[in-house]
Amino acid sequence: MRPAMLAGLLSAGVPFPKAIELADPKDLPDKFRDFIVLAFELGAPLVPTLSQLEVQMRHEERTSQEIDQAQAVPQATRTLLIWLPVVCFVLAQIMGLGTFSGILHPVGALAALLAGALLFAGYKISGRMLNSFLAPKPDPTLSLMVLRICLSAGEPLEKIRKRLEGYPDGGASQLVEISKRTGARLSFLIDSELEQLNQKLLSSRIEEARKLSVRLLIPLSLTTLPAFLLLTLPPIIIGFTQ
């Protein structure tokens, strides 16, 4: 279900309960369902609200796609470096260097265990770094969307301020003050700020993904290179001496 679909049904004169039944908003993210419920409870114009939600949803979908593409590079780098020692070990065995027989020797087995421990440590450390990057971040657009809905419903500003206290700061209070001082229409200021904030969040996340690609090389290099040496040189040397 898309907010635009629900807006189209309501614009066509379909009663709200029937429109909800046809549009089936269960697949919407929780916050968008909450926005629709808030607009309905406050009596805000639903069609304009849904149109704004559709715009915001498209921004977030684009951001999500860009982030997925950006973090594909660090994911691939991590996988490549972690599996590199194992691949080299297998290739050495295929080339007849006797790496498999080498790890059956006590010294070779100890080297293989140390290499496995290093690879596991690199896997866990890099995994924590990726999970930290992918963890949900505070969404500053929430307060602006709530302000937009409450404003269209005609709710007093003092009551809106109290409602926004539980949301991450997205600059809503500053926009209210600017509107008071300049007489500018607050809804226009909100729409402009949302557009700039969405672009800023997208740029920030892409930059974080690029920095992550570099930071991942530090723990992976410190664990993968010693693991590579431990998993290839001792078994090869032992294989030649046996």
Residue 42 inside a domain? The answer is: no
Domain count for the chain: 1
Residue 237 inside a domain? The answer is: yes
The H or E element that residue 24 is part of is none
Whole domain around residue 149: which residue ranges?
Answer: 51-241
CB 197 within 8 A of CB 59: no
CB 31 within 8 A of CB 12: no
Q: What is the pLDDT of residues 96-113, one digit of tens each?
A: 777 777 777 888 788 888
Percent of residues, the chain, with pLDDT higher than 70: 98
Residue 41 inside a domain? The answer is: no
CB 56 within 8 A of CB 194: yes
Give dist(CA 115, CA 223) in Å, integer.
Answer: 8
Give dist(CA 232, CA 140) in Å, integer.
Answer: 50
pLDDT of residue 235 exceeding 80, the answer is no
Identify the residue whose tokens are 């290739």: 91
Q: What is the pLDDT of residues 144-190, one digit of tens each?
A: 888 888 888 888 878 888 888 777 777 778 888 888 888 888 888 88
String of DSSP letters for 152-181? HTT--HHHHHHHHTTS---SHHHHHHHHHH
pLDDT of residue 87 exceeding 70, the answer is yes
Residue 14 inside a domain? The answer is: no
Q: Which of 127, 98, 133 is nearest to 205 (CA)?
A: 133
CB 172 within 8 A of CB 144: yes
Q: Which of 231, 236, 229 is nearest to 97 (CA)?
A: 236
Residue 29 inside a domain? The answer is: no
Residue 76 inside a domain? The answer is: yes
pTM for this predicted structure: 0.70
Q: Sign (positive/negative) of CA torsion 43, 49, 53, 54? A: positive
Residue 21 inside a domain? The answer is: no
Residue 1 inside a domain? The answer is: no
Instruction: Kindly report the backbone phi and psi dihedral angles of residue 15, in degrees, each rounded to the nearest multiple of 5, phi listed first.
Output: -60, 150
Give dist(CA 173, CA 150) in Å, integer.
Answer: 13
Identify the residue whose tokens are 């997925």: 68
